[in-house]
A and B are shown apart, each in its own frame.
Chain A
Amino acid sequence: MKRFLYQLLIIATLFAGNAVAQTSTWVITNGCWLKVDGSTNINIFSCAIANYSKPDTIVINRNFTPVQLSGSMQLDVQNFDCHNPVMTADLRKTLKSKQFPRLIIRFQTLNNYPDHAHRQGIIKGYVTIELAGVSKRYEVDYKVVAAEATYINLEGSRKVNFSDFNLEPPRKLGGMIRTNNELSVVFNLRIKVI
């Protein structure tokens, strides 16, 4: 019995060691950005939060399939820039930036760990996007822009709707000028692997 317990302890230790080895940390570095493209019945618009520079971390657990992620990116809605002051102000108002100043992307899973093998393909993963006080889970397509041993550049994209977050697409002049419900969200992550 004693010998059996001893063997069990050794096996458990080996497995635990393996699990530790499969966990790593990503640091979100300077130069990340998020872009939102949308349209109205009279024009198209593209608004971005450029140069996201908060050094958030994401913990990666590769023991599971899909790969488990734990961490988030918190963006200031006030930093959206639509390259047109009135449109910028209008988007911030639509997103209720005063009431809900943060857009949070919580990273949850990745189908595969991004490395050289996936450079040409798409990796799918799940995130939760919190906007205007509403959280919604989405499957995101990631493109591996660059992947090295200590550095990864990922570009995630997803279509979302204003209505997903209980937001009304803006409408002006009695509805004669209407913003379409659908938005295309693209975010770029520059990651340092620790």
Chain B
Amino acid sequence: MKKILKSGLIAGIVLSVVSYGGLYLTINFFPSLFVEYNNPLFNSDGSRDVLFYMHAFIISFALSWFWERFKSLFHGPFLLRGLEFGSVYALVALLPVMWITFSSLDITVLIVLSWFLYGLFQAVLAGIIFAKINP
């Protein structure tokens, strides 16, 4: 349990910096990609900002538990283990969720694709961290 919490916390901190930092830079350098977010589907009053910024820790603790449970199935150097772990998560969890999201909400393919790649990147990064600190 301690391993799960420690790994989750470290991954959460790293993901927060990389994910939100990356998002901030992408918005500044490629603003046109984000015009679609001016959409009433997205919360706009700031009431859920805390939840938004907690996401990195939510996914990190969830993946940390998943890693602890199934890490024996991933073999090879830590980078490869992280990549495979992230890919499994993206295939099993992200892809079906993105599928149902696109089919039911009025959002573009570009948005859904960016969410998928963002989630895949987060999971691979978390997997690499777990493979390194909790092999």
Q: A86-B38, A90-B38 are in contact. Are A171 and B46 (CB under 8 A)?
A: yes
Cβ of B72 within 8 Å of any chain A Cβ, yes or no, is no
- Asked if B31 contacts A172 (CB within 8 A), the reply is no
B72 to chain A, nearest CB (A): 37
Of the candidates B38, B49, B106, the one whose C-beta lies within 8 Å of that of A177 is: B38
Cβ of A5 within 8 Å of any chain B Cβ, yes or no, is no
Distance, CA A179 to CA B36, complexed state (A): 13
Q: A174-B52, A175-B46 are in contact. Are A90 and B27 (CB under 8 A)?
A: no
- Residues of B within 8 Å of A90, CB to CB, are 38-40, 44
- Asked if A43 contacts B35 (CB within 8 A), the reply is yes
- Asked if B53 contacts A86 (CB within 8 A), the reply is no
- Asked if B39 contacts A173 (CB within 8 A), the reply is no
Interface string of A12-47 (1 = CB under 8 A from B): 000000000000000000000000000011110100
Distance, CA A84 to CA B39, complexed state (A): 10
B71 to chain A, nearest CB (A): 32
Q: Which of B3-26 contact A (CB under 8 A)?
A: 20, 23-24
Cβ of A194 within 8 Å of any chain B Cβ, yes or no, is no
Distance, CA A41 to CA B24, complexed state (A): 11
Cβ of A116 within 8 Å of any chain B Cβ, yes or no, is no
- Asked if B23 contacts A173 (CB within 8 A), the reply is yes
Q: Which of B40-94 contact A (CB under 8 A)?
A: 40-46, 49, 52-53
- Residues of B within 8 Å of A45, CB to CB, are 38
- Asked if B52 contacts A173 (CB within 8 A), the reply is yes
Q: Which chain A residue lies CB-closest to B23?
A: A176
Q: Which of A81-114 contact B (CB under 8 A)?
A: 84, 86-87, 89-90, 92-94
- Asked if A87 contacts B44 (CB within 8 A), the reply is no
Distance, CA A138 to CA B43, complexed state (A): 31
> Which residues of B pack against A, CB within 8 Å?
20, 23-24, 27, 31-32, 34-46, 49, 52-53, 106
> Which residues of A pack against B, CB within 8 Å?
40-43, 45, 84, 86-87, 89-90, 92-94, 168, 170-177, 179
Query: Given contacts A40-B38, A42-B31, A86-B39, could you give 9 more A-B pairs where the C-beta distance is less than 8 Å?
Result: A43-B31, A43-B35, A86-B38, A89-B39, A93-B44, A171-B45, A172-B38, A174-B49, A176-B24
